[in-house]
Structures are given as structure tokens and as C-alpha cells.
Chains A and B, each alone.
Chain A
Amino acid sequence: MIDTSIFDSQVDNAWCPGCGNFSILKTLKEALAELELKPHQIVLVSGIGQAAKQPHYIKANVLNGLHGRALPAAIGVKIANHKLKVIVTSGDGDLYGEGGNHFIHNLRRNVDITVIAHDNQVYGLTKGQASPTSDLGFKTKVQVDGVMLEPIHQLALAVTLRANFVARSFSGNREHLKKMMKAAITSKGFSLLDVLQPCVSFNKVNTFKWYKERVYELDETHDHTNQTAAFQKALEWGEKIPIGQIYSDKRPTFEEQQFALKDSTLVEKGLDLEKARDIIQSYI
């Protein structure tokens, strides 16, 4: 097995002590190592936020772009070289808020990438405003009367749009988290893994204890191939919160449907300038 230290980066960590992100980081390194993936085979993509710093802390290929724009960059990478393992690791605000449009349409597109959402139900980096996953009534310095917008129900959205892999886990259950990460990364097509992640500095409601008391693991009585059952589980929230694989599907991936990507990746094709010139000439 690969030693996880192969993924250690030299960048100083800037997260708050006690942040749920530490466990997600550690678990991801372990999952990658257990899957025998090497740094050069992986591309980590993120937007901007606390979660979006995670790629800095892992030695692999990294593309850190703009807030909200992790997904379009990630699918660009994957389409250019679909042999790479492309993993988006970013925040709930980044993926479902500012990047919400990309989230919806990439669920539809079904490119074979894995999205790990560090879901702390808040904008951590900008110091505690409501995110699209904040619960109704969640009070912040700008949402002083509490959140009035319905939460985005990202898992239900993903079930509705038939993502190939939809799951939830909790940073406080590393064993479960690792299992879900490995399943998400090896599953073909768009994989969404939403990870409940306590933000100790700016979310004083949805704390480690709050999650710990509510989460329960789905067992085999849940049929994740059944869209209706999955939809119900995806919406379950409050006193009890299910973690585990909620939905699975077998839609063909975007890449599989591209004739140009059948035999080789785009990067392997190279560029024959002579040929390109001939084609252009034929139109002039």
C-alpha cells in the first residue's frame, strides 16, 4: 500500500484548530493511498473558501480558481485528459451557492468526476454568513432575523437529476467517510459526496455534537437504486440525518458519449499543424 505521506504538502495549514476540515483532509489522503493512486494521477480542483484550501494541503496536481467556479474548471481538466482522477474538494457556498448553476448543469452532464463538498452550512472564509445549506432560521450578522430561504437540498437535487453516485458522510466518522470517499472516487460518472463538517468558529448551531447526535448509517434496507426511496432519504433532515450511499445510477458518462474521446484522450492526440492547415485551407 502507498504511504499517505506521499501526499503531504509543505504549505502551512491556515484552518482553525478543531475544524472538521482536518479530518476530511486526513481521510482523503488515506483513501487515495488505499486506492493506490499516486499524486501525478490526481487533479484536485477547488474554488475559494476554507474548504477550497484543501488542495493546497495535498501533494498532487492542483487547480485553485475562483469562488463558485470549481466545477467548470474540473470538467475541462477531465475532458482534456480523462485518464486523470479529477476530484473537486470545495465548500457548500462555493459549490451550491455562487457555483449553483454549474452544480445543476454538471449533474446533468455526468462527467466522471468526484465532488467532495465540505458542508459546514455556512460561509466560513468570509466569517459566517448563511450558505445555501444553512437551516431555516439560522442567524448570522447579515441574516439577523434568521435565514428565510429554503435550503437547497443538494442531495435531492442530485437524485432528481440522476447523478451516478450520491452520498452523505460526516467528518466525525472517519471510517465511514473513507468508505464513502473510496466508493465515490471509483464510481463512474458524476459522484457527489456531501460531508457534514463542523465549523467551530462560525456555526455555533450545527456543531460536532449536533451532528453526532443525529447521524445514523444507512443499512441494506435502503435501496439506493430506487429513485423514489432515494429521494425520500435525500430529504431526511432534522432529528435524524442519514449518512451513506443514498442513490446510484448507471447513466453513460459525458466522455463515453464523445466520439473524439473513444480511442485516446485529447492530450494524447497531439496536434498535427499540417493537417489543421489543410483543413482550414479547404474552406478558404
Chain B
Amino acid sequence: MSKKIVAMTGNHAVANAMKQINPDVCAAYPITPSTEVMQVFASFAADGAVDTNLVTVESEHSAMSACIGAAAAGGRVMTATSSAGLALMWEMLYVASGTRLPIVMQVVNRALSAPINIHCDHSDSMGARDASWIQLYAENAQEAYDNIIQAVLISEEMDVRLPIMTCMDGFIISHSIEKMELLDDNEVKAFIGDYKPHFPMLDVENPVTYGPIALQNFYIEMKRQQVDAMESAKQVILDVGKKFGDSFGRHYGFFEEYMLEDAEVAFVVMSSAAGTVKAVVNELREKGHKVGLLKPRMFRPFPAEEMANALKHLKALVVMDRSDSFGSAGGPLFTEVRSALYGVENAPLAFGKVFGLGGRDLEVHHVEELFKELDKASKTGTIDKVTDYITVRV
């Protein structure tokens, strides 16, 4: 295996992965901060480095529609978007998953309007969490690169056949240069293999229909099959993560456990903020505090049982959400985690904090403050407030 260490932004890393994947069709419509992914990829296409048919469309709605058509025809299909772009795809997201088409989309997370804001939070992809798309989140450029390569295999698996969004934090990851490893082109090619579409429209010997009407007679069965597909996806994600690890040395599962095993209290946080939290965990460990971190990678399907097992020994935990679900019992991650802990004997105390909306910075001292709350909760056995915001003016 030939290692190639490079310095790259998240957007370039993803564009390079796409080059190595060499999809049949890509649809592109620009939006900050994901614009660059397709732009860099377009330069690869111009240089003849890929065989992709790159179609520049007039809106994200058209981008997702083009992906759906191309995937139904039997192509390997990819696109990228952010924020309002993903929101505009909304009705097509459900068509992609409902017709069980493997489409890989890079979401570069950005806040939603209004007010307009171009910086990172997870409102866009979290808004699509019920759309029956698999969702993987990356902490850094390396993970974004590794995730999107694995995503191709996961979504194409017969028992899964669901579209997948791989997510990375806008600007924080998409535009920051990091040290990372690029795999060899041939290794990626061998890893993902040739695509054999399951029911392609271009197979004229076996005509198929996508998206016909299903009313009271069949609709609910088809939805129920999506549940099964999500369930199957779990094992596939583990298998693909293991295969990737065995081949390239970086193993992936549902989530990362960081100093969690012997911890008494822990943070649960995903994406780039997990990097900041790890630094604080290191520092607190040096001072003798038994603190750890669980960083979810896979949000859909949500690994409720596995996560509950990984967290159940704790005394207290805080779930940090980079988006809110207004008027609900807490942020999307918090409500999932707390629900996963329901019925667990001596379940840890859990509280949720919303942070970083619209790109508000999360600094080391903010995490240290949070630890004080965690520590207090574990010692007193009580929490002041189940959900709240941090780093906000009130």
C-alpha cells in the first residue's frame, strides 16, 4: 500500500475521492460552502481524469432530480450541496429513498435562512433526518474522504439500496487545510469495485418502472421495506468499515469511543466539535478526571442499542447538538440518545446543550465549563436543566 500524505481542505479531499470513485453522472449547482467540491471535480473532468458526465443544472431541485434519473438508469451518481440547497431538494430526497436508489451526496453543513448565514451548523442535514437517507458525519477532512468512498459501497448493497449523505462541517472542515492521507487510485478502484446496478432502466431486456402510484394497497409495505433497509444498513456499514480498515488501516464503526471505557462522565458530540472536545478530555484526564467522549459517525440509521451499551456505565453525560428541533424535547442528537437510554437500568443522567448555531465558535474554555456541569451532575445526582443553549446571549 502506498501512502500519500497531503495537505488539503475538506472540499478538495472530497473532490479527490470523487475523482477516484469516477462516477458516471454528477449534477452540480453552486452554493457556499460546498461549491468548491463540484468545481474542483469539474477541473478533473476537464482534464480527462474521470469519465463522468457532469451536468450543470439550474437548481438543486433539478440536481437531485437528475441524480434520480441517472441512478434509475443504472449509473453511479454523486452530487454535493449545503443549506438552502439541501432544503430545496426536500421533495426529491424522499423520491430518491422511496425508489431505493443508491445516490451519494456530500453535504457541507451550513445553517438555514432566515436570517441568512453561510457558516456551519447541522440544521440542513438534520432537517432531512427522516427522509430515509443514510447519514454519516465526519470530524475532519480524512474522515470525510474515507466516508464518501465507503458510502458508495454501502448504498449500492442489494439489501440496502438507499441514498446516503456524507456530512462535513462547512468552512471549519471544508475550507481548512489539514494533513491527511490520500489512497492510491487503484486501491480505491479495487475497494469499490465495478458497479452492477440492480434494476437499471437501461436494461432493455428487463423493463422496470420507477415511482408508480401505490395507495392504500401497497404504500405502507413499501415504507416498511425502507425500515428493513435501514436495519440491514447497520451490518453493511460495519462490514464496509471493517473492510476499509483492514485494507487501509483506518477502521470505522457506528461511533468513536474516546477514553470512554473507564469514564464516569462523558460528552456526546459529532463532527468537527469532537476534535475540540478531545483536546479538553486529554487535558482533564491529565488532571485525573475520568471523562470521555462518544462521537457518533452514523446518525441514520441510529445505533440506539449499541450506543446505550457504550454509555450505560456513565454517571452523567451531556449531548451537544449543533442544530435545534424547535419546540421539541431537545436537539435531534439529544432526543435520540436519551431515548436510547430509556429502560436502561441505572441509566446515566443526561442533559443536552445546543451550541454553534450559524458558526458560533466553540472554544476550549466553553467545553471546560460544560465539564463543570457534568461533574456537578455526577456528584449531586441531579441536573439543573434538561436542555439549554451555551455560548448565547439571552
Residues of A within 8 A of B (CB): 48, 64-68, 97-98, 100, 123, 125-127, 129-130, 132, 141-145
Binary contact track B1-39/A, C-beta < 8 Å → 1, others 0: 000000000000000000000000000101110010011
Chain A neighbourhood of B35, CB < 8 A: 126-127, 129
B56, A129: Cβ atoms closer than 8 Å: yes
A66, B42: Cβ atoms closer than 8 Å: no
Shortest Cβ distance from residue A284 to the other chain B in the assembled complex, whole angstroms: 29
Chain A interface, >50% SS class? loop
**CB contact between B30 and one of A65, A100, A123, A132 (< 8 Å): that residue:** A123
A144, B43: Cβ atoms closer than 8 Å: yes
Q: Does B58 have its Cβ within 8 Å of any Cβ on chain A?
A: yes
State A100–B62 Cα separation when bound (angstroms): 12
- Report B140-184 residues with CB < 8 Å from chain A CB: none
**CB contact between B59 and one of A65, A98, A143 (< 8 Å): that residue:** A98
State A48–B117 Cα separation when bound (angstroms): 11
B42, A142: Cβ atoms closer than 8 Å: yes
- Report B53-68 residues with CB < 8 Å from chain A CB: 54, 56, 58-59
A143, B56: Cβ atoms closer than 8 Å: yes
Number of residues of chain B lying within 8 A (CB) of chain A: 19
A65, B113: Cβ atoms closer than 8 Å: yes
Chain B neighbourhood of A123, CB < 8 A: 30
Shortest Cβ distance from residue B86 to the other chain A in the assembled complex, whole angstroms: 13
Between-chain CB contacts (< 8 Å), 23 pairs? A48-B84, A48-B116, A64-B116, A67-B31, A67-B84, A97-B58, A98-B59, A123-B30, A125-B32, A126-B30, A127-B35, A129-B30, A129-B56, A141-B42, A141-B43, A142-B28, A142-B30, A142-B42, A142-B54, A142-B56, A144-B42, A144-B43, A145-B46
A68, B56: Cβ atoms closer than 8 Å: no
- Report, nearest first, the 3 A-B pairs whose CB atoms are least far apart: A144-B46, A126-B30, A142-B42
Of all chain B residues, the one with the shortest Cβ separation from A131 is: B58
Of all chain B residues, the one with the shortest Cβ separation from A152 is: B58
Chain B neighbourhood of A142, CB < 8 A: 28, 30, 38-39, 42, 54, 56
Shortest Cβ distance from residue A148 to the other chain B in the assembled complex, whole angstroms: 9
Shortest Cβ distance from residue A14 to the other chain B in the assembled complex, whole angstroms: 12
6 additional A-B pairs beyond A48-B84, A129-B56, beta carbons within 8 Å, are: A65-B113, A68-B59, A126-B31, A129-B30, A142-B39, A142-B56
State A126–B31 Cα separation when bound (angstroms): 7
State A66–B32 Cα separation when bound (angstroms): 14
B59, A144: Cβ atoms closer than 8 Å: no
Binary contact track B102-117/A, C-beta < 8 Å → 1, others 0: 0000000000011010
Shortest Cβ distance from residue A80 to the other chain B in the assembled complex, whole angstroms: 19
State A126–B352 Cα separation when bound (angstroms): 36
A144, B45: Cβ atoms closer than 8 Å: yes
B56, A130: Cβ atoms closer than 8 Å: yes
Chain A neighbourhood of B54, CB < 8 A: 142
State A125–B84 Cα separation when bound (angstroms): 15
A132, B58: Cβ atoms closer than 8 Å: yes
Shortest Cβ distance from residue A68 to the other chain B in the assembled complex, whole angstroms: 7
Shortest Cβ distance from residue B84 to the other chain A in the assembled complex, whole angstroms: 6
- Report B333-390 residues with CB < 8 Å from chain A CB: none
Shortest Cβ distance from residue B81 to the other chain A in the assembled complex, whole angstroms: 12
State A48–B116 Cα separation when bound (angstroms): 9
Of all chain B residues, the one with the shortest Cβ separation from A132 is: B58
Shortest Cβ distance from residue A157 to the other chain B in the assembled complex, whole angstroms: 15
Chain B neighbourhood of A129, CB < 8 A: 30, 35, 56
Shortest Cβ distance from residue A244 to the other chain B in the assembled complex, whole angstroms: 29
Chain A neighbourhood of B59, CB < 8 A: 68, 97-98
Interface hub of A125, A129, A130 (most chain B Cβ within 10 A):
A129
Shortest Cβ distance from residue A278 to the other chain B in the assembled complex, whole angstroms: 33
Interface hub of B32, B56, B114 (most chain A Cβ within 10 A):
B56
Shortest Cβ distance from residue B51 to the other chain A in the assembled complex, whole angstroms: 15
B84, A66: Cβ atoms closer than 8 Å: yes
Chain B neighbourhood of A67, CB < 8 A: 31, 84
State A68–B43 Cα separation when bound (angstroms): 27
Given A66-B84, A67-B84, A129-B30, do A141 and B39 touch, yes or no (CB 8 Å)?
A: yes
State A126–B84 Cα separation when bound (angstroms): 14
State A126–B114 Cα separation when bound (angstroms): 19
